[in-house]
Structure 1
Amino acid sequence: MDIDGLKPETQARLSIDEQLKASGWKIQTWPKVNLGEGLGVAVREYPIDSGKGQYTDSADYLLFVNRLAVGVIEAKKDETILSQVEDQTLRYATSKIKFRKEEAPLSFLFEATSQVIHFTDLRDPAPRAREVFYFFKPETLQTWSKQDNSLRYSLKNCMPELEKATLRDCQVSAITGLEKSLSENRPRSLIHMATGAGKTFTAINAVYRLLNHGGAKRILFLVDTRNLGKQAQQEFHAFKPQGTQTFFHENHIVQRLNSSTIDDAAEVCICTIQRMYSILSGKPIDESAEDVSLHEIKQNQQQGKLVKYNPAVPIETFDFIIVDECHRSIYNLWKQVLDYFDAFTIGLTATPDKRTFGFFNENIVAEYSYEDSVLDGVNVGYDVYEIETEIGNKGAELKAKEWLDHRDKLTRKKRWAQAEEGSNYTSKDLDRSVVNKSQIRQVIKAMKRAVEIEIFPNRKEVPKTLIFAKTDSHADDIIQIVREEYGQGNEFCKKVTYSAKDPDGILNDFRNDFNPRITVTVDMIATGTDVKPLEILLFMRDVRSKGYYEQMKGRGVRSLSYEDLHNVSKSATTDKDRFVLIDAVGVEKSLKTESRPLERAPNLSMKDLLQGVAMGHRDDETIQSLASRLTRLSKQLDKRGLDKVEKLAGKPLPQLARELLTAIDPDAINQKALTNAKEAGITRSEETLTDTERQTAKDQLVDQACQSFDNPETREVIESARRDHEQLIDHINLDTVTYSGYSGQATDDAEKVIQTFKDFIEQHKDDIQALSFFYQQPYQRRGLTFAMLEELHQALSKPPLLLTTEKLWTAYERLNQGGDKNTKQKANTQRQLTDIISLIKFAIGLDAELKPFVEQVDAKFKKWIFRHNAQRSTAFTEQQTQWLRLIKDHISASCFIERDDFDYSPFSDHGGLQKVWGLFNNDDKNELDSLLAEMNQELIA
């Protein structure tokens, strides 16, 4: 049928008919009605009372389910503003309908053109029209008709008060804020919670409440990588709702989608947004696409292949969609997935940007920033340590005729040959076209030295460290050099990338076991993956996306108790109270964009063009750009390279390019459309072809031309052929470290820490005993106990101050205040609780130099015992001196000693109180008590 000549209203109705049929409705026209033809029947031109008891008006479509009228559709021509038609639809729904016995209004109201559908449910508390992608199935309206309440009624009136006992305040705020938003029928809600604050745990609590009280039947949990999907599934399975003895998955079926089939019984579906797009667009999924974060895929501004209605996954499949890490997965191509379903959309993110706020209609239901999380002790703060090298900053020169290794990027096979011509390479070329192992080695050596001497001087083992590399090849070079420089074996340092063998197993070991101490990744654990014991992040790649960079930093922020940290880092003596970002590429200073630029096809790399085409970016500009690149490449490759591409693609490279150009050629499209019409028995000329027929023909040509690029191996061989096959290994230019130290921002932070400490002392000098001890002179007459120090330490280390002894000491060292300039070089003493005495005395000006408490006690002890030996008729014996040293060591660790302490080790190992009492018994006078009192005063003074 040629629909171009029909009236606009008739064209719209034909389109609506097709949509209704696709969603399971039988189409009939009054009065030829057969309500027994199917469960759902849509009757056109059904008589409606015009208001005078006469059925002179008619509804465009009256919807019957199981012979009962349930809804009405008002059909309009395209470009009609549907909100202006709502009164008409409502009038039909509330009027008398011929042969209908029930008087209650029809519940389900639709206004539709061929392009847009609006829907209103009169059962809702405040019925409001919303746009839907397609019509609901008859089975859905039948289910809704039988329910006492609509979903939105339940959200407003049936949600019980939240049990708060097991939730953090930020989680309570997020859930209550979300439920308030849903009760107001807001379609999109954004939860902004810092990494580590428990976004997924919060979401699972909300899911449980929505399923059990909110009327939800199925919820989609969208992620953007397969790894995050596995992690989400584990958290659902580990969740035990408050007040129950069973786990979530024992009462609610949780399905992680690995195919296009959704289990009818599933109440929670976990799925990558790439897979769901594949299901809805009809485009087979490239399995490898689920392993790459959407941060790593540049998206074209134009949409790729559009999603289409899938009767197996109707628009009402999900009531809610929770989008994890929504800052990176809801725009452009992927947005179609969210637009398809008639569901509330809930976003979870730690790093929102302007687009995120805009997409969620600025409806931020909870906001919990990284700064808030650090103040609450949920996360830890971080310091930035910078490493710069000469070649890392400026590059180097390679002269012609130099003998160099040339290494194949894929096989890593080397050949020894002369450089054909001289060249200067820049820092951007490093680890891509040129590898300078000296540059990598200098960074690793500088990191090792900094961690051991400045950053964590008291650790016996390497703190858990994550290194971000540029590429898989770069990661392999780093691993080799790390193992060499640390003198360790394979278990010490491993690669965790999607291409690695058993990455999940290595990641689990990294979290929970002693080894590996260092892992190297490209992107697998750059976002969303928790490794709580991490204390060092080394950036050996730059990042230009602000959001992505914040996500990468977020791998280190998770707080961890002493016990859990000690399990994997045996020499840790406190809770995890910070992490250190080591910047070896200027990532902290490089210009960041608010979000990844949306590049047009001509500016995309070959890799992004190929990946984009495979994922559905099929607009003319992308197709033409790829064809041009392939044509250019075919002229650059030798026969070996061309044969390799042809073997995998099944076609010569020039033919691949030619087919792409043909697919968007108007003449070829017309010819294909005419062929299609002829095969369908329809007589057509180029002039009578419809736009729909042309578009169908074009889609067929484009799909056929792009078929070769579906194979990831084909894309990889084209991409590797495009690149220079080999990297030059520069062993001639040796690198040197030009700077290694904390950044200026870290210095500013240290000054803030110290000022906060001084302000605290001034504010509490009269009400905390350990502080008043130093202010109420002469403090030698008073006893400073270990319990006093513990009270002070607890007050300083809890939120919002979070001032541990280690953190305060590090701050002073960073500013190089208070004494020996070589303190950093010899710092190898564990920070202990009594070091807070030294910190206080230095902060309030009683000491001119900041030294560890044990060093101060040692110095005072030497003076004290020298003075006593000079004053006594006989000096202390060797045995007495040994006991006095034991007493001195105890005061160093506990700031006070009394008789009862001699019942414990190490004193009990040498005879205890009885032994020491006898040693200091002199002429019927025992000196022990007076010596203890004197040492308690003088060694702390």
Structure 2
Amino acid sequence: MSVNKAKLTETDIITKFIMPAIKNAGWDDMTQIRQEVKLRDGKVIVRGQLGVRKTVKSADIVLYHKPSMPLAVIEAKANKHEVGKGMQQGLDYARLLDVPFIFASNGDGFIFHDKTHGVTNSLGIAETHHLETEIRLEDFPTPQQLWTKYCIWKGYTQAQLPIINQEYHDDGTGKHPRYYQLQAINKTVEAISSGKDRVLLVMATGTGKTYTAFQIIWRLWKSRAKKRILFLADRNILVDQTRINDFQPFGTSMTKVTGRTVDPAFEIHLALYQALTGPEESQKAFKQVDPDFFDLIIIDECHRGSAADDSAWREILEYFSSAAQVGLTATPKETDEVSNSDYFGDPAYSYSLKEGIEDGFLAPYKVVRVDIDVDLQGWRPTKGQIDNNGEVIEDRIYNQKDFDRTMVIDERTQLVAETITNYLKRTDPMAKTIVFCNDIDHADRMRRAIANLNPEQMAKNEKYVMKITGDDEIGKGQLDNFINPKKAYPVIATTSELMTTGVDAKTCKLVVLDQNIQSMTKFKQIIGRGTRIDDRYGKLWFTILDFKKATELFADERFDGTPEKVIKVTPADIEDQGIDIDAANDDLDNGAAENQGDHQNDEPDTNQNDTINDPKGDASLDEKWDEGEWTDDEPRKINKYRVSGVTVSKVAERVQYYDSDGKLVTESFKDYTRKTMAKQFSSLDEFVKRWNESDRKQAVIDELALEGIIWSALEEEVGKDMDPFDMICHVVYDQPPLTRAERVNNVQKRNYFTKYSATAQAVLQNLLVKYADVGVQEIENMQVLKVAPFTEYGNLSEIVKKGFGGKQEYEQAISELEAQIYQIHQQTA
């Protein structure tokens, strides 16, 4: 019996026609064919305290040479569509997977898009064929045909193939690298197998750089292209997290370098820079082995100390210069003094925060900007005024840059702590929160202020708020508990530098900025503390509470674009330009001290917190030294005044959201709904037509919800007694709003129920009441007939059969009821 293709679903077309054609061409169903490949997670839309994921489509079929090597995308459509209908969709998936072959089909044949059409074949002859051609089902290419074309397109040599063909590590759970991770892995393996020895990968915080590094090492190590590997980081937590988590499959082949000893018995070495080198020759443990001992080095967070030419850490990389070296960073450093690209070359692959948010792999953010009057207007002491310590305060205007750096106003600290506390009480008092302060002294005072404002929480657990800084062993000891989603405490961490990077706090929902931040590198790192998503714990988005205008950096084109580039200046230049010479000198001093480690901020007057002294000396430098980042034998002293009794108040507080263009916008949910609807429906008539033609109104409601229209958020702005249909008509198309009660009243006036039996009339009248109370979903859910008051008329099947004559008649009656409810708009559409 012949099959009528026109009546088959898309799934039937795939099953009956497309899959048989692929398998007949020799593709292995188990290892080379994957169906319904989900490439994105779906962007999270946030408004108010609600977040919802947009739905994303999956690629119908992806063909692989091996699991690590996708080759082709096949996009299917039902037969009622033209054969090439799915091509544009397929091209989008192919771009993500970086594959050259795309097939579109409706079951009659294939449209074949071939990006290799201009390559030279193995005989050195340029192949000439069309970019897109139509082929029969029985002419689908074999795996070898596509692989041969692919290798020519890529320019692989025979020597590369054993390395290229090495699989990534499969943990048996069905987990595959995400599309961008696979691209980063493949491009790095390709580059190194072709002889390139310096590779830079730029991947936003939270996108799995360490997992990507593991898979790169695994493939190069297993193929024996690289036999001894060094993974370099500059913080203990980075090394330990890596060893315990992503690198665990290396097992007994792996060791952490401790005690300044490099053990040649192991092949995979994880090390802190500080364990391998130091200012004294006796501390240079890396020289225990020959320069060719390592043939692959992975440098984590390479934007930090190792990028500088005069860094002592650079000597490790230069000693092992014959090794292939891969730099990993979320924030590549580009200044006149420090450049990742000068050393590693241009990135082999980049995946930005914006891309991560759009794909749904990273959490979007909303920003709450709080302006404080003394920050905006400045504060000046009275003549001869003394501070709390009895010191005469230098007479000048102190502004936002000064507060908690050279001038402490206790009431300002209190106001910030109150704002944080009130926000958490209003939203979720147990939401993991990081408060970034200017220095350790500031972090200490902020911890105390928040603790005093939360006596009931502190009574439950004194670790509710903790200072986690480099000088505090108890606080540092709680860092693992803070980042562990299973541990409730600590809830709030006050810090200055320690938690700016390398802290994988997946459930951090609030990032508070009360620190002067002008360095783009540092800003990106701090924002990265909140960008991880954890669906299991309901972490889909996060809030940035900004007291220091730091989020103005979001508007800087460098935020998600090219790395910063600054002009190198001398103290004389700075003086001529009227720039704060003290702050500039602090930066220059720290730059000279960088041979011990991290110096994230090379710009003049950008990091106001590097040289602030608490009573014990320079707090921030103390912290950095504890972390093995840098030191200075004689840190410069800066006077810090502390005053009380100043009247401080909030001038303004505004909420901004991350929009589809990656910009921060101050918009209501009504504005967002208008923009979203404009993309879906060009006019009111088109929307009304779609609504009225839909068998189930709930289907339209669900579709719009999946586009990010959060009905509960819209109800808060517009009104809770309004139907979704009326909310859209009113908000988007400026129609007069009707409440559900008004619609019910209009239906009852028409008295159209008389054509039904007494039972059916009673059921329909009660359904109208349900509609007025809850909405259209109650009418469309047949299960509502199982509860009171409907049970008075019998069970579900009795009501449907006796009252209406059967299921089909009942469904027809519901359609007519909905038509009556929305009749006014049917007439005007």
**Pairwise TM-score range, normalised by the shorter structure:** 0.5 to 0.7
Question: Deviation of residue 498 (structure 1)?
Answer: 2.5
Please, which of 564, 576, 583 is the counterpart of residue 594 of structure 1? 564
Please, which of 404, 410, 420 is the counterpart of residue 437 of structure 1? 410
Question: Deviation of residue 221 (structure 1)?
Answer: 0.8
Q: Does 1:474 align with 2:442?
A: yes
Q: Does 1:231 align with 2:241?
A: yes
Q: C-alpha separation between the residues in 1 aligned to 2:773 and 2:166?
A: 51
| 1:397 counterpart SS class | coil
Q: C-alpha separation between the residues in 2 aligned to 1:476 and 1:858?
A: 56
Checking the alignment, whether the CA contact within 8 Å between 2:516 and 2:550 is kept in structure 1 is: yes
AA aligned opposite 1:345: Q
Question: Deviation of residue 171 (structure 1)?
Answer: 1.4
Question: Deviation of residue 189 (structure 1)?
Answer: 0.7
AA aligned opposite 2:775: S
2:33 is matched with: none
Q: Does 1:555 align with 2:529?
A: yes
Q: C-alpha separation between the residues in 2 aligned to 1:503 and 1:882?
A: 65
Checking the alignment, whether the CA contact within 8 Å between 1:386 and 1:743 is kept in structure 2 is: no
Indicate how the Cα distance of structure 1 residues 422 and 502 shifts in structure 2: closer, same or farther if over 3 A, else same.
closer
AA aligned opposite 1:558: R
Q: C-alpha separation between the residues in 1 aligned to 2:386 and 2:596?
A: 45
Q: C-alpha separation between the residues in 2 aligned to 1:216 and 1:274?
A: 25
Aligned runs of 1:799-810 on 2, under 5 Å?
804-806=708-710
| 1:386 counterpart SS class | strand
Indicate how the Cα distance of structure 1 residues 931 and 404 shifts in structure 2: closer, same or farther if over 3 A, else same.
farther
| 1:398 counterpart SS class | coil
Checking the alignment, whether the CA contact within 8 Å between 1:190 and 1:360 is kept in structure 2 is: no
Question: Deviation of residue 203 (structure 1)?
Answer: 0.6
Q: Does 1:385 align with 2:368?
A: yes
2:399 is matched with: 426
Indicate how the Cα distance of structure 1 residues 178 and 470 shifts in structure 2: closer, same or farther if over 3 A, else same.
same
AA aligned opposite 2:407: V
Question: Deviation of residue 373 (structure 1)?
Answer: 2.0
Aligned runs of 1:914-933 on 2, under 5 Å?
914=794
Question: Deviation of residue 583 (structure 1)?
Answer: 2.2
Q: C-alpha separation between the residues in 1 aligned to 2:416 and 2:723?
A: 33
Q: Does 1:729 align with 2:643?
A: yes
TM-score normalised by L of structure 1: 0.53
Checking the alignment, whether the CA contact within 8 Å between 1:404 and 1:419 is kept in structure 2 is: yes
Checking the alignment, whether the CA contact within 8 Å between 2:370 and 2:546 is kept in structure 1 is: yes
Q: C-alpha separation between the residues in 2 aligned to 1:166 and 1:773?
A: 40
Indicate how the Cα distance of structure 1 residues 889 and 360 shifts in structure 2: closer, same or farther if over 3 A, else same.
farther
Checking the alignment, whether the CA contact within 8 Å between 2:378 and 2:397 is kept in structure 1 is: yes
> Unaligned 5+ residue runs, structure 1?
1-151, 239-247, 285-306, 407-416, 454-458, 570-575, 618-640, 646-708, 766-770, 797-803, 814-819, 850-854, 872-878
Question: Deviation of residue 718 (structure 1)?
Answer: 5.5
Checking the alignment, whether the CA contact within 8 Å between 1:217 and 1:319 is kept in structure 2 is: yes
Q: Does 1:211 align with 2:214?
A: no
Please, which of 311, 316, 336 is the counterpart of residue 292 of structure 2? 316
2:664 is matched with: 746
Please, which of 346, 350, 355 is the counterpart of residue 326 of structure 2? 346
1:634 is matched with: none
Q: C-alpha separation between the residues in 1 aligned to 2:220 and 2:745?
A: 70
Q: Residue by residue, what CA displacement relative to the aligned partner does 1:631-650 show, whole Å, maximum 9, x if unpaired?
A: xxxxxxxxxx9xx99xxxxx
AA aligned opposite 2:364: G
Indicate how the Cα distance of structure 1 residues 548 and 169 shifts in structure 2: closer, same or farther if over 3 A, else same.
same
Please, which of 691, 694, 698 is the counterpart of residue 786 of structure 1? 698
Aligned residues: 594
Aligned runs of 1:235-250 on 2, under 5 Å?
235-238=245-248, 248-250=249-251
1:256 is matched with: 256
Q: C-alpha separation between the residues in 1 aligned to 2:422 and 2:475?
A: 31
Question: Deviation of residue 764 (structure 1)?
Answer: 12
Q: C-alpha separation between the residues in 1 aligned to 2:683 and 2:289?
A: 64
Aligned runs of 1:329-344 on 2, under 5 Å?
329=305, 330-331=307-308, 332-333=310-311, 334-341=313-320, 342-344=322-324
> Unaligned 5+ residue runs, structure 2?
1-155, 169-174, 572-580, 598-614, 618-624, 755-761, 824-829
Indicate how the Cα distance of structure 1 residues 514 and 913 shifts in structure 2: closer, same or farther if over 3 A, else same.
farther
Checking the alignment, whether the CA contact within 8 Å between 1:188 and 1:363 is kept in structure 2 is: no
Indicate how the Cα distance of structure 1 residues 756 and 930 shifts in structure 2: closer, same or farther if over 3 A, else same.
closer
Indicate how the Cα distance of structure 1 residues 898 and 316 shifts in structure 2: closer, same or farther if over 3 A, else same.
closer
Question: Deviation of residue 168 (structure 1)?
Answer: 1.2
Question: Deviation of residue 436 (structure 1)?
Answer: 1.6
AA aligned opposite 1:272: L
2:548 is matched with: 585
Question: Deviation of residue 585 (structure 1)?
Answer: 0.5
2:381 is matched with: 398
Q: C-alpha separation between the residues in 2 aligned to 1:153 and 1:916?
A: 70
Q: Residue by residue, what CA displacement relative to the aligned partner does 1:217-261 show, whole Å, maximum 9, x if unpaired?
A: 2211111222222222222344xxxxxxxxx133x4322223210
Q: C-alpha separation between the residues in 2 aligned to 1:857 and 1:430?
A: 54
TM-score normalised by L of structure 2: 0.60
Checking the alignment, whether the CA contact within 8 Å between 1:395 and 1:426 is kept in structure 2 is: yes
Q: Residue by residue, what CA displacement relative to the aligned partner does 1:403-445 show, whole Å, maximum 9, x if unpaired?
A: 7533xxxxxxxxxx58577664332221133322322333344
Indicate how the Cα distance of structure 1 residues 191 and 923 shifts in structure 2: closer, same or farther if over 3 A, else same.
closer
Indicate how the Cα distance of structure 1 residues 908 and 587 shifts in structure 2: closer, same or farther if over 3 A, else same.
same
Checking the alignment, whether the CA contact within 8 Å between 2:341 and 2:347 is kept in structure 1 is: no
Q: Does 1:183 align with 2:193?
A: yes
Indicate how the Cα distance of structure 1 residues 171 and 909 shifts in structure 2: closer, same or farther if over 3 A, else same.
farther
Question: Deviation of residue 391 (structure 1)?
Answer: 0.9
AA aligned opposite 1:492: Y
Indicate how the Cα distance of structure 1 residues 234 and 880 shifts in structure 2: closer, same or farther if over 3 A, else same.
same
Checking the alignment, whether the CA contact within 8 Å between 2:483 and 2:506 is kept in structure 1 is: no
Checking the alignment, whether the CA contact within 8 Å between 1:887 and 1:897 is kept in structure 2 is: no
Q: Does 1:465 align with 2:439?
A: no
Q: C-alpha separation between the residues in 1 aligned to 2:295 and 2:488?
A: 44
Question: Deviation of residue 201 (structure 1)?
Answer: 0.4
1:7 is matched with: none
Alpha-carbon RMSD: 5.2
Q: Identity of paired residues, percent? A: 18
AA aligned opposite 1:249: F
Aligned runs of 1:267-282 on 2, under 5 Å?
267-278=267-278, 282=281
Question: Deviation of residue 314 (structure 1)?
Answer: 2.2
Question: Deviation of residue 162 (structure 1)?
Answer: 5.2
| 1:261 counterpart SS class | coil
AA aligned opposite 2:537: L
Indicate how the Cα distance of structure 1 residues 842 and 543 shifts in structure 2: closer, same or farther if over 3 A, else same.
same
Indicate how the Cα distance of structure 1 residues 520 and 596 shifts in structure 2: closer, same or farther if over 3 A, else same.
farther
Indicate how the Cα distance of structure 1 residues 836 and 865 shifts in structure 2: closer, same or farther if over 3 A, else same.
closer
Checking the alignment, whether the CA contact within 8 Å between 1:223 and 1:273 is kept in structure 2 is: yes
Question: Deviation of residue 793 (structure 1)?
Answer: 4.0
Q: C-alpha separation between the residues in 1 aligned to 2:363 and 2:683?
A: 25
Larger radius of gyration: 1
Q: Does 1:841 align with 2:729?
A: yes
AA aligned opposite 1:587: A
Q: Does 1:488 align with 2:457?
A: yes
Checking the alignment, whether the CA contact within 8 Å between 2:370 and 2:654 is kept in structure 1 is: yes
Please, which of 273, 294, 304 is the counterpart of residue 328 of structure 1? 304
| 1:733 counterpart SS class | coil
Indicate how the Cα distance of structure 1 residues 912 and 185 shifts in structure 2: closer, same or farther if over 3 A, else same.
farther
Q: Residue by residue, what CA displacement relative to the aligned partner does 1:289-327 show, whole Å, maximum 9, x if unpaired?
A: xxxxxxxxxxxxxxxxxx7x9651321221111111112
Indicate how the Cα distance of structure 1 residues 254 and 488 shifts in structure 2: closer, same or farther if over 3 A, else same.
same
Please, which of 476, 480, 489 is the counterpart of residue 503 of structure 1? 476
Question: Deviation of residue 267 (structure 1)?
Answer: 1.8
Question: Deviation of residue 193 (structure 1)?
Answer: 1.8
Indicate how the Cα distance of structure 1 residues 158 and 711 shifts in structure 2: closer, same or farther if over 3 A, else same.
closer
Q: C-alpha separation between the residues in 2 aligned to 1:404 and 1:548?
A: 32
Checking the alignment, whether the CA contact within 8 Å between 1:890 and 1:896 is kept in structure 2 is: no
1:159 is matched with: 163
Indicate how the Cα distance of structure 1 residues 467 and 312 shifts in structure 2: closer, same or farther if over 3 A, else same.
same
Q: C-alpha separation between the residues in 2 aligned to 1:735 and 1:181?
A: 57
Question: Deviation of residue 365 (structure 1)?
Answer: 1.9
Q: Residue by residue, what CA displacement relative to the aligned partner does 1:272-301 show, whole Å, maximum 9, x if unpaired?
A: 22332328x5265xxxxxxxxxxxxxxxxx
